[in-house]
Structure 1
Amino acid sequence: MLSNRQLLVLQVIIDEFIQTAQPIGSRAISKKEDISFSSATIRNEMADLEEMGYIEKTHSSSGRVPSEKGYRFYVDHLISPFRLSSDEMNSITHTFEKGMLEFEQIVQSSARVLSDLTNYTSIILGPEVFETKLKQIQIISLSSTTAVAILVTNTGHVEHRSFTIPATIQPSDLDKLVNILNDRLVGVPIIQLHEKLYTEIAELVNSYTQDFETAYKYVKAALFDEQHVKLYVGGKTNILMQPEFKDVEKIRSLFTIMEKEDEIANLLRSSTGGINVSIGQENKMDAMQDCSLITATYSLGDKQMGTIALLGPTRMEYSRVISLLNVLSSRLTKTFHSWY
């Protein structure tokens, strides 16, 4: 259990280090308005905090810096709600007032504004394709044997994949199938298309096509069998502006993992509701173990639809970032709900 004096010294050290990225000495702490005890007392308290593992001594200075244990205690016990400025709130509000026609545009814009406001790297995981609704399907023939299948969801997401048309399928059958899908299934959740096609309109499709089973098999494989990750990244190079990330190998590892969208998406999918903060070694990915990752989810009713994350140094403005993520996740939840 930390004493009140130790709590105050620890908070001053972390708050100051977050702002300056410089080790903090007892003399700097003694000049703070809230500190009324002597430098000698401060040094004693710092020695105790170091012995308990909350702060560390650097090689280049007599000052101290927070340890990961110190940051964890700070996040869990010392930060208080941060009041966002009117400019910050306006930046978020304008993101949702631009008259964007598609939810996907809003997510992309949200990633940009979040990185701009924090100078960290923002990552937003969009809703899965199967959790959205059909807006339109197209098939465009490239030759007698190849075509491109295009699926557009109500959130503005576009899937397009090339596939080979087997000789047994008439191009006209594909056209008829697509026309029926667009006529009868617009607005149906993607995950329900297969069931509805077979239970509600299979007879209709059969009467208009020569080989319904084969035609549907290829359209289904092209559009519905594999979901592409929808990951939106803002400010990827912001990490380069942080003094902690001057090591080329460290940066290379971090950029390499950010290119692995499936791994990042799986990491964000594992986030539970509310705010989650992973500090340093708490991160599962080795390349992120010099970073902090803060996530928040947005939802539709009780169902989690996507995740917002900020990646930055362990010297992160935790209170402000948590407030920004809370506001943005709430707005995304409200906006996503309006699409349904």
Structure 2
Amino acid sequence: MTLTAREIEVVRIIVQAYIEHAAPVGSRYVAKQSTLKLSAASMRNIMADLTEKGYLHQPYTSAGRVPTDKAFRFYVDTVLSPALLPENTQQDIKEALGQAGLEFSNILEHASKLISAQSSQVGVAVAPKRSMIRLKRIDLVLVRTGLVMAIAIFNGGVVHNKLLPVEPKVTADDLVKYANYLNEKFQDRTIEEIKKDILQEMEQAENRFNALYAKALSLARDAFANNNDREVFLDGTLNVLDHLEGKDVSSMRDLLEFLEHRSSLLELVDKLASNEGLIVTFGTEFYGPELGQWGLISSPYQVQGQKLGVVGTIGPIHMDYSRLMPMVDTIAKMLSDLLESRFA
């Protein structure tokens, strides 16, 4: 429904008041904060109309109004002008990310902790699907007779190690030849693409009686088997206790259950991964009414134009979007820059 200028003003005041106080907002407060110069009675009429349109909710008779997720969606998409992140905060974030070390997993874990610390909410960092990221190189290292370590390095610095049994007669020199062949054949390909080609390549190698190629491809097949595990880093889950009152215990439990079942979170992240940038999603939109009091601010990180994963924060629906949206967006962009500089 199209809102009038008066209704937009009332939605703005009520949402901002609810973000600040997390309590129902009365008509007198709206009248005092508004530039419309209307009486409290007139404001009650406007608020009643907004309630009928689904933007406000009255928790009980004679109480003020509470904004619904529809009002928050309108506020975020239409009314809100996010504040610029102060330069000193940006510098603090950059320095903190720079201390994360070189391991990709450590960097993401650090990012989730940083987001949680900056937001006082749940920090989320999700690793990419290994099947969809591109191979930079593969190294094969002889651990001992009959045992090889396959080390696959992907764009963004993702490293996957796997121990593989081999024939006792395989030497370190053989492994160098295998790795050179595999890198020439599959460099800059995704695991998904590599898997499709391996069987065909193995058949061709066997037809040419090329034992070296066949053994190399066999090792690659085993190295990339079951390679779809994804890491999800969460920090600050107990912060939800600081934002909800005792009457909302069931809502808190629903959120913790959602976070515990990583498949639901990953399904959500996959839906968000196609977005070009920052996005705000509400619980009713990505899960259902059980998470109606929660929201997610997320933004993708990438290397060389390839989206790798998502970082974000989960908090109460009345979180401070004007501050947290630029914070999440800044961390995602700085994470992309860091990965680009170190691993591209």
Match of 1:328 in 2: 331
AA aligned to 1:312 is: G
Gaps of at least 5 residues in structure 1 are none
1:298 equivalent in alignment to 2:295: no
Partner Cα distance (1:138, 1:128) in 2: 25
Change beyond 3 A, Cα 1:233–1:55? same
C-alpha distance in 2 between matches for 1:290 and 1:208 = 61
1:25–1:249 Cα change, 3 Å: closer
| Mapped pair 1:228 → 2:229 | yes
Partner of 1:97: 98
Counterpart of 1:295 in 2: which secondary structure?
Answer: strand
Match in the other structure for 2:167: 170
1:67 aligned to 2:68?
yes
Match of 2:9 in 1: 8
Of Structure 1 and Structure 2, which has the larger fraction of its residues in helix?
2
Q: Distance in 1 between matches of 2:238 and 2:244?
A: 13
My pick for the range that moved more, 169-178 or 67-76, is 169-178
Secondary structure of the residue aligned to 1:37 is: coil
1:40-119 matches, cutoff 5 A: 40-59=41-60, 62-98=63-99, 100-119=101-120
Shift of 1:261: 2.9
**2:137–2:153 CA contact under 8 A, matched in 1:** yes
Partner of 1:84: helix, strand, or coil? Answer: coil
Contact 1:102/1:156 (8 A) holds in 2: yes
Cα distance in 1 for partners of 2:247, 2:148 equals 47
For residue 278 of structure 2, what is the aligned residue in structure 1? 275
User: What is the identity, as a one-letter code, of the residue corresponding to 2:314?
Assistant: L
Name the SS of the counterpart of 2:33 in structure 1.
Answer: coil
> How far off its partner does 1:76 sit?
1.6
- Give the CA deviation at 1:57: 0.6
Alpha-carbon RMSD: 3.7
8 A contact 2:296–2:313 mirrored in 1: yes
Cα displacement (A) at 1:13: 0.9
Residue type of the alignment partner of 1:52: K
Which consecutive unaligned segments of at least 5 residues does structure 2 have? none
Whole-Å separation in 1 of the counterparts to 2:298 and 2:235:
15
- CA deviations 1:64-95 (Å, max 9, x no partner) are 11012111111121101312234432332213
Output the TM-score relative to the length of structure 2.
0.78
**Amino acid corresponding to residue 340 of structure 2 in structure 1:** H
**Secondary structure of the structure 2 residue equivalent to 1:53:** coil
Residue 101 of structure 1 deviates from its aligned partner by 2.9
Partner of 1:311: 314
**Given residue 171 of structure 1, which amino acid in structure 2 is its aligned partner?**
P
Normalised to the residue count of structure 1, the TM-score between the two structures is: 0.79
Matched residue SS, 1:19: helix
The more displaced of 125-134 and 244-253 is 244-253
Looking at structure 2, the residues matched to 3 and 34 of structure 1 have their Cα atoms a distance apart, in angstroms, of: 15
Distance 1:285 1:6 in 2: 27
1:307 alignment partner, SS class: strand
Counterpart Cα distance in 2 of 1:23 and 1:126? 39
Q: C-alpha displacement at 1:14, in angstroms?
A: 0.6
Identity %: 25
Q: CA deviation at 1:182?
A: 5.3
Deviation at 1:148, TM superposition (A): 6.8
- Aligned pair count? 328
Q: Say which of 130, 133, 137 aligns to 1:134.
A: 137
CA distance in 2 between partners of 1:176 and 1:264 (Å): 44
Alignment partners' CA distance in 2, 1:176 and 1:244: 65
Alignment of 1:240-255 (within 5 A): 240-243=241-244, 247-255=248-256
Alpha-carbon distance in structure 1 between the residues aligned to 2:320 and 2:12 = 13
Contact 1:149 1:223 in 2 (8 A): no
Question: Displacement of 1:221 after TM fit?
Answer: 2.1
